[in-house]
Chains A and B, each alone.
Chain A
Amino acid sequence: MVHRIFSLVRKELQALLRDKQGRLLLVGPVLMQLAVFPFAATLEVKNNTLAVLNEDAGPESFELIQRFSQAQAFTRLLRLEGERELADALDRQRALLVVRFPPDFSRSLAAGKAASLQVILDGRRSNSGQIALGYIRQMVNTWLAGQRPAPAPELVVRHWFNPNLDFVRHIIPSLVAIITTISTLVVTSLSVAREREQGTFDQLLVSPLTPGMIMVGKTVPAILVAMFQATIILTAGIWVYGIPFAGSLPLLYGSMVFYILAVAGFGLLVSSVCATQQQAFLGTFSFMVPAVLLSGFPAPVENMPVWLQRVDWFNPLQHFIVIVKGVFLKDAAPGVLFQSLWPLLVIAALTLTAANWVFRRRLA
């Protein structure tokens, strides 16, 4: 039996690696995502335009504007005259946000009263706006602290595991998980559909190979290919992007196997109900998109409504991203990781059983 499965796995790998195109397809997209993602999908705010409407004439507002314009976030400063221009600047998205100094800003400060400063954000770009607002707040606070003779009690924020809030540290571990998902789905569901189209699937089914063996024969290559691609990203994350790898490699690869099994189950389930590659492609797509959107990568899972969080429990990507980040960035203890690992085990068992059942039923 082992030998038969070995034949299947070898055939699958040969088919994948046989031509230059196939080999390129295994590495090319990974490298491209690796090159593009950390820059394109950044949540940092850089190179934006800040608009200022200064109705004050005092040195304080002048000083603050100077500081704002030094920030990396705002490379362009747009000086506005009057409220009409203010509305216009936001309307046409000429600036991400507008800071408005009221006429009594300096006077109030000089009188030792609380001075107010208005910041108007573009709600259409809420994420970047919020982050930019944080920068403004920080700069104002720093300036204020410098103004007071006796420093007021200060809140010092430190981000553990990512002290500089370097966004690449969020992206790379998530990318490991996402690439693993894509390649597992491609190797399992699309290849079964291709065999169906070419008629070789019937050839497999009339051989003494059982549906179970065929499934193992499709899953093992998926594990190998996905791990290979994940390794590329890990290596680049450590050596190119300089992220320190905190945890244990065996733990990471071990949990990756379970994750791939869970996704392979989905892939095989999709392929067992699809007759053509086109259908299989749509099927994997309709799994991929919600899985990524609900994975906690673009938005935190905790922000979702409770019922959706419950549904999201069945999303293996969500658990796996937690594991990868945990191992990669903070050397999480196995006990902590197990919190995310056992759902993967349950999902893998469910999907693989379902796929096996549908496989057999389709034969009947």
Chain B
Amino acid sequence: MPAPVIQLEGLGKSFPGGKRPALGGISASIHPGRVTGLVGPDGAGKTTLLRLMAGLLTPSEGRVAVKGLDPAKDAVRLAPVIGYMPQKFGLYEDLTVGENLALHADLRGVTGPERQESFDRLLAFTDLSRFTSRLAGRLSGGMKQKLGLACALLGQPEVLLLDEPGVGVDPISRRELWRMVRELVAGGLTVVWSTAYLDEAELCQEVLLLNEGELLFEGEPGALTGRLRDRCFQIRDIAGNRRQVLTRALCRPEILDGVIQGHSVRLVLRPGQAPPDLQPLGAGPAARLAPVPPRFEDAFMDALGGGPGGESVLARHAHQASADREIVAEARDLTRKFGDFTAVDRVTFEVRRGEVFGLLGPNGAGKSTTFRMLCGLLTPTSGDARVMGIDLKKSPGRARQKLGYMAQKFSLYGNLTVGQNLAFFSGAYGLRGRLQREAVERLVTAFKFEPLLDAPADSLPLGYKQRLALACALMHEPDILFLDEPTSGVDPVTRREFWTHINGLVEKQVTIIVTTHFMDEAEYCDRIALVYRGRVIAAGTPDQLKSQVATADQPEPSMEDAFVGLVRQQEAANPPDLAQAKGA
């Protein structure tokens, strides 16, 4: 193996006021001509590490060397060597594609005949030549990402640092980007790719797995997943309730981790344990255990020592949803226009009681717009949105009393305490006196908030923030709960705990409507509407969607394969016109 390009020796970084170091003494090496993944959930220290490598931060302890040089001290000599693409791609949205390139070329000192030559080469490489005069802010997520990459590649760096290039980009563009990165790596470039999507780790040649500032694993991803060989199974052909099967399975000592995958339940065994007997799990007579290849996420859970357990503390205390009606939410020809751009185009679907319904699609596809119309944050241009049979246009207040809403990133009043947040949200939903006290007490007991009542919400660890946000959304015992990208970027343990609570609510017939661009999250849904360019292009159970794209070569496609396949089918049937593409 050639000598490493980047060498980390006991590298640590603390920020003033931080409870723990953002990065705690990491030693690793990154080798040339490969894609090295910096993998871990939000807050793992990925960005800090990248910024240390780029010389944008100085280490608190240890050292980092890029080609033997200190990136902070030898910034001038390393500048031509390192290309860095920050999160959100580091573009000036009010400049055109061409101006962005020119600016970055000026900054990196790319001049003379080399300048135009690199522009031509990079524009051809990223397929952006047709769009040089378009404002960067008007590009789609995938195109922004390509432009960001082109800017980072100016001056022909030897090391490319990419900070979460896959966020906010649809799976098709993500695959395109991976193709381009592989091409660059084949040409000798060293790429460091940070990501919170654990499935991306499997695409890297080498992985540094980070969690809470600690390095959990360094090496080829296969070496990590290899530890789980013969320990991963799917329970298929379940006759009973698959959520209950999962709950029971997670309570057994031999099970390390488990998640729902469409109609099946995926289980990971603890090392050296035999698979469980299916009958006590209530999986039905036809249920069978099928071995499946381990995923990187299984390995991550293994490295962390397993998930949060199966039983939701919330489920025991949760309210029973009213059983008045079968159809609890419906969209009929829902359309929303912004100027001459149609963000949502005649979307129709129904959501049944006690179901987890997912709106799946890339950013800008129109799923958030649909979602916002359904919970009354946006008025439709035409068409109807009803919740519990109530038209949101006619009596929004009455409809809102019946729905709970959890915004992205658990938005709470950060400087209010846990108790004050609970008191406020219960009051906002019209609870008072004894009823209010009881509702707050019920959730405080369920989520074990007692010792935290006086702590500001900002100071809580992520898992507790999520619980508090959920508690605030459930205070008024809504029949239907809206979740906007609930667990994107969240570590898998917290994500599992979250879905355990959600499963507990569903058992009480509460209906869940969730938006996500996260393919794994879609697996938890009973039904999915796939939104693309403002339209629902496919709807059904996760297994139905997957079976629509199953082929002889790919008998068991993943959710992402299903997404990519269905979008391609749609595009082949009616090619997108440019006017739509511009706004998307």
**B-binding residues in A (CB < 8 A):** 3-4, 6-8, 10-11, 14-15, 18-19, 22, 198-200, 202-210, 363-364
Contacts and interface: CB of A to CB of B under 8 A. Distances in A.
14 contacts: A7-B424, A7-B427, A14-B424, A199-B407, A200-B411, A200-B412, A200-B413, A202-B377, A204-B428, A206-B377, A206-B400, A207-B425, A207-B429, A210-B397
Interface string B408-447: 1101111111001001111111101000000000000000
A208 B413 contact: no
B401 interface: yes
B415 A3 contact: no
A208 B411 contact: no
A6 to B, nearest CB: 7
Given A18-B456, A199-B408, A200-B413, A363 B430 contact: no
Contact of A206 (B376, B398, B432): B376
Interface in B368-414: 375-379, 397-398, 400-401, 403, 405, 407-409, 411-414
Contact of A208 (B375, B378, B430): B430
B482 interface: yes
Contact of A4 (B403, B408, B420, B428): B428
A206 B414 contact: no
Contacts of B411: 198-200, 202-203
A18 B459 CA distance: 14
A208 B376 CA distance: 10
Nearest to B381: A364
A273 to B, nearest CB: 16
Given A15-B416, A203-B425, A210-B397, 8 more contacts: A7-B427, A10-B427, A14-B424, A15-B415, A199-B409, A206-B400, A206-B403, A207-B428
A18 to B, nearest CB: 5
Contacts of B376: 205-206
A363 B379 contact: yes
A18 B414 CA distance: 11
Contact of A363 (B377, B403, B407, B417): B377
A208 B409 contact: no
A203 B456 CA distance: 18
User: Chain B interface: which size bin?
Assistant: 20 to 34
Contacts of A18: 415-417, 420, 456
Contacts of A205: 376-377
B400 A207 contact: yes
A7 B377 contact: no
Given A6-B427, A206-B376, A15 B413 contact: yes
A22 B456 CA distance: 14
B424 A363 contact: no
A144 B136 CA distance: 78
Contacts of B482: 206
A7 B415 contact: no
Closest A-B pairs by Cβ, 9 of them: A7-B427, A199-B411, A206-B405, A364-B379, A11-B424, A199-B407, A208-B401, A208-B400, A207-B428
B430 A3 contact: yes
A154 B397 CA distance: 75
Contacts of A199: 407-409, 411
B429 A203 contact: no
Contacts of A209: 428
B379 A208 contact: no
A359 B413 CA distance: 21
A9 B261 CA distance: 45
A10 B377 contact: no
B397 A208 contact: yes
Nearest to B401: A208
Name which of B398, B400, B403, B427 has the most chain A CB atoms within 10 A of its CB: B427
A169 to B, nearest CB: 40
A44 B420 CA distance: 51
A57 to B, nearest CB: 73
A102 to B, nearest CB: 66
A202 B423 CA distance: 18
Contact of A198 (B378, B414, B417, B428): B414
Contacts of B409: 199
A202 B407 contact: yes
Contact of B407 (A4, A8, A19, A203): A203
B344 to A, nearest CB: 15
A217 to B, nearest CB: 9
Interface in B96-118: none
A14 B416 contact: yes
Nearest to A207: B428
Contacts of B425: 203, 207
Contacts of B397: 208, 210
Contacts of A203: 405, 407, 411, 425, 472
A18 B426 CA distance: 19
A206 B375 contact: yes
Contacts of A10: 423-424, 427
Contacts of B405: 202-203, 206-207
Contact of B427 (A3, A198, A202): A3
B187 to A, nearest CB: 41
A11 B400 contact: no
Nearest to A16: B415
A205 B392 CA distance: 13
B408 A11 contact: no
A19 B417 CA distance: 11
B428 A7 contact: yes
